[in-house]
Amino acid sequence: MANTITVNNLVKVYKIGSEKVVALGGVSFCVQEGEICCILGTSGSGKSTLLNMLAGLEKPTSGEIIIDGVNIGALNERKVTKWRQKNIGFVFQSYNLIPGLTALENVALPLIFRGVKRRHRKRMAQVMLMMVGLGARMRHKSSQMSGGQQQRVGIARAFVSAPRIVFADEPTGNLDSRTTKDVMELMVRLSKKYNHSLILVTHDREIADYADRIITLRDGLIISDELTKERIAL
């Protein structure tokens, strides 16, 4: 199976006054096409910095990130923005829905940047909302939905444009245990159905266990890279 993401000796150093803070100290790994990979670590481990760089939101101090043959760290701001719109979906802890828009409008939003015509955007968003169990909530705004429903809208928005990679940053941090299970099973199911690579970022080992593979960070370094029991059994 081909690698979607290849990270080579990635370093990120922040300058704070006269001090240098090493957020990542030389990280290397690969993620295969369709793989569900969890970046696990406590606060300050470097996992959020790594996510931002994988998504092209921050530039490496050194090292490289190759995604489908493209060195994203070498792209200028305009090119990396276009690349992100075409290839990446995001699921956020705080949902990040636009309050004035309906669920349907929120899900259709990424398709505008893809140049999809209005009629097709609406149909694609409708199909995705039905897939996540929100067919009856399409016209509801975020204030009219529970946290779990809002996160389902966020998942639908992340997957609607068929991205190569979906990043989920603490996707269940604001949800109860029952809703967490439903949301995680939904993301895993959609990732497997469409063969999207899914990168989960979390501090929660129970969430990590939904992944095929768990990369654990501590102090900006990888301390373990392991397959889950389910993956080993395949």
Q: Which of 75, 60, 57 is nearest to 26 (CA)?
A: 60
* 144 secondary structure, DSSP code: G
pLDDT at 7 > cutoff 80: yes
Q: Quick one: pLDDT band at residue 232, thresholds 50, 70, 90?
A: very low
Q: What is the DSSP letter of 63?
A: E
Give how far Cα 222 sits from Cα of 84, 133, 230, Å.
25, 37, 22
Confidence band for 1, pLDDT divided at 50, 70 and 90: low
What pLDDT score was predicted for residue 234? 46
Nearest of 126, 167, 160 to residue 39 by alpha carbon: 167
Mean pLDDT in residue range 82-88: 92
Give the pLDDT confidence score for residue 231 in this predicted structure: 54
> Which tokens sit at 231?
């993956």
* Whether pLDDT at 224 is above 90: yes
Q: Mean pLDDT score of the chain, rounded to an integer?
A: 93
Mean pLDDT of 127-151: 95
User: Which residue type occupies 172?
Assistant: T
What mean pLDDT do residues 225-229 have?
A: 85
Q: What is the pTM of this model?
A: 0.92
Instruction: Calculate mean pLDDT across residues 136-164.
Output: 95
pLDDT for the residue 229: 61
pLDDT of residue 3: 87
Q: What is the pLDDT at residue 230?
A: 58
Q: In what order do the strands lie in the sheet with 165-169?
A: 88-92, 165-169, 197-202, 36-40, 213-218, 221-227
Which residues, listed in sequence order, are joined to residue 10 by a DSSP beta bridge? 27
**pLDDT per position as a tens digit, 92-117:** 999 999 999 999 999 999 999 888 99
Which DSSP category does 61 fall into? Answer: S
| Percent of the chain whose pLDDT exceeds 70 | 97
Return the pLDDT at 114.
87
pLDDT beyond 90 at 2: no
